Structure 1
Amino acid sequence: MPDTSPTDPTSGSPDLIEAPRRRRWPLVLGGLVALAVVAGVLVATTGGDDDTTAAGGETVRIGVVGASDPYWATYQEAAADEGIDVEIVDFADYNQPNPAVAEGELDLNQFQHIVFLADYNVATGEDLQPIGATAIYPLGLHSKQYDAVEDIPDGATVAVPDDASNQARALVLLQSAGLIELKSGGTIFSDLADVDTDASRVQVEALAAALTATSLDDLAGAVVNNDFVERAGLDFDDALAQDDPSDSAALPYANVFAARADDLDDPTYQRLVEIYQETQAVQDGVVEVSGGTAVMLDTPVEQLQASLAEVEADTRDQG
């Protein structure tokens, strides 16, 4: 995920997903989508005709950040084709959509990954739950000297971002690539102290996220946040390794639709998740807006909920 500084959600340069900093609320999230710079709720965007309503004649209100992304209009049209009226409510602040769902002002939201949701639940005592996966935005390992992970020599130095929100994910990526071993096995709280240096192939150095890419001339490799890949003249496709969405360690970074726990079995909500996952134009639109980095997911709900429970437990332990 990119740096944690705010970016304009209309810029078309999405961030990668990142774990939140240690136990704090409110959070500033980078990654699912770019963070808006203007606080407050924007004007809601509505779709569908008056006669295209959900079961019971009610409109389903979904909170998002970045409703101007074209795929949301496509999604509304696909839902309307099945008789479901969807109202997309656009927020400019990541701290608002979860309380809005909890208080019943929204039916669903789709803007966050599991780690963010877990931190919110633990901090507030709420019980919002994922009802479906959307996408994960891979974090990549880049190199100017080597063309493959196996070419990186033992003892070489690889850089990771120095902020806690990105460092844990970068270390898990290096472990998945076979370059290091983490004493904990890899968690959302891993840091340099978690690296088993005797069992690792490379040395790990922490640099400011903005410097990992620009320091590649002096490094064997670096985990580069999404925001800095193209700025540094790198290509997303040239990454030697990236998060594997099928890896259980990457699951907490999956973006999800979230609902109140009492609404998990609502058939209309479940169908709306399926429409998002099954409508090719929606899927293509998400990938396009992400600059081709998004990996679309249809992870079973049971796995998402189990991951949330695990991250919540870990977050409480850290407190």
Structure 2
Amino acid sequence: MRQNEIFADAFNYFVYNGEPVIAPESLTELDTRAIDVPYGGANGAGQPVQKTRDVIKSVTAMTDKKRAYLVLAIENQSHVHYAMAVRNMVYDALQYAAQVEKAIASHKRAGDYRGADRDEYLSGFMKGDRLMPVVTLVIYFDAKMWDGPLSVHEMFAEQDVKILSLVPDYKINLIAPAAMNDGEFGKFHTTLKEIFSFIKYSEDAEKLTEMVTHDERFLHLGRKEVDVLNACVNANLEMEEEEEECNVCKAIQTIADRAAEKERIDTLQNSIRNLMKTMGMTAGQSMRAIGVSENDRKILEKLL
């Protein structure tokens, strides 16, 4: 995700429906350590709080002949984080706090508080100062549906509607392959298309085979893409050191073989349990009765 082309592609999909509005060359990576310097100085509100984000970049764009700035961040998730809304809220708040502190520090260095009114002087943040918007995008690299809360309000127990209306909400911006339809994958212009579609159908050998058959780009995935798929959905894609591309067809066959093996073991397990229930046999007696092999016996003993 640190590659500007990939990073821009993710945000262009989510914000602009796949239109290439954010240019990769407009992105500049920032330090992922967001530090909130407590107001009141060293003897003020305690120790600084530090959180480390996955990837954070600034964007420079031209809008109505005025230069506009944004801060974009991506959080990569291989598992559902059930407090993600609060986690992201803290990250973004720390980024805003850091911007305020930098503004205050710049005024002190410039000595331009002269002429400022009392409120500006006391707050340190001038009336004309502005913050850069922070947008965080969560990318869920798993074939399962995201079943966690998508906002802070969803994390509350039942509350009085009037009270809840006074509590600011914070929502997650989420990309989850399992929730995407096939037409959406075509809105990506980098290998995110292949990665997300592979993840969505990683447990469906028939659908995966169909996609590979109709899109030859699946036959030429690079090493970075292979690493992502192996780590996130256990794709078992293999590449020799000297190879730069991987043929996904082999992976599909592996997935199909794995599914067939699981189905065979499940069938044996059900047969053994039926014998144990109806005939009063032990697990060992049941396995002997239906002629289970030694290798299968070792697998089934852990399941029964």
Which TM-score bucket, shorter chain as reference? under 0.3
Larger Rg: 2
TM-score by length of 2: 0.24
**Which of the two has greater helix per residue?**
2
TM-score by length of 1: 0.23
